Amino acid sequence: MLELLFHFCCCLMQGLGNLFGLSYQTVNVILFCYVEPIFTGLMIVLAIMSFYKLPVNTVGIWIFRIVVASVILLLLIGGFYFVFQGMMYYTGYSDQPFIDFYVPHSTHVDKLFNGTVDWLENLGDKTGLGYRAVNILVYIVLMPALCIASYIILRVRG
């Protein structure tokens, strides 16, 4: 099941990359090194501010809705693109079979992507869970759970 979920996520990001002419690494860095951590941090800060009775609930709720709707829409589009047009980009890599390493990307993206992979591999080794399990736990379970919990706090406190 874990392999299927990991592969599915890779396919969605590959579809987005193919759609916008970006590499898998670029899409991965944009989503998981910038958008998700910034969004998660913002939601946590807004939830904390809500505890101090600052009027951030409505803003936080709308930010959550807009970001979640945008991400879902992009992932759906990426998934459809991958299924209907992007499979021609299959590169044959056995570890991550649908990742196109030939689309150009910057050294900045390389550094962030490789640094994040190294961090996840080290964490996976230390915990005994492995790279893919830690990747899914951090980016597909933990950060979204923190955002949802923050959203619930904003709704309840509002």
Q: What is the pLDDT along the chain (158 residues), one digit of tens a residue?
A: 778 888 888 888 888 887 888 888 898 999 999 999 999 999 999 999 988 888 888 888 999 999 989 988 988 887 777 777 655 554 443 444 445 555 666 888 989 999 999 999 999 999 999 999 999 999 999 999 999 999 999 888 86
Contact criterion met (CB below 8 Å) for 101 and 27: no
- Structural domains in the chain (count): 1
Longest CA span, the chain: 54
Q: How far apart are CA 115 and CA 113, in angstroms?
A: 6
Q: What is the pLDDT of residue 103?
A: 62
Q: How far apart are CA 80 and CA 65, in angstroms?
A: 22
Phi and psi angles of residue 130, each rounded to the nearest 5 degrees, phi first: 95, 160
Domain range for 89 is 2-157
Q: What is the CA radius of gyration of the chain?
A: 17
For helices 57-84 and 36-51, angle between their N-to-C axes, nearest 10 degrees: 160
pTM over 0.75: yes
Contacts of 103 (CB under 8 A, 6+ apart): 17, 21, 22, 23, 24, 26
Helix (H) or strand (E) holding 46: helix 36-51
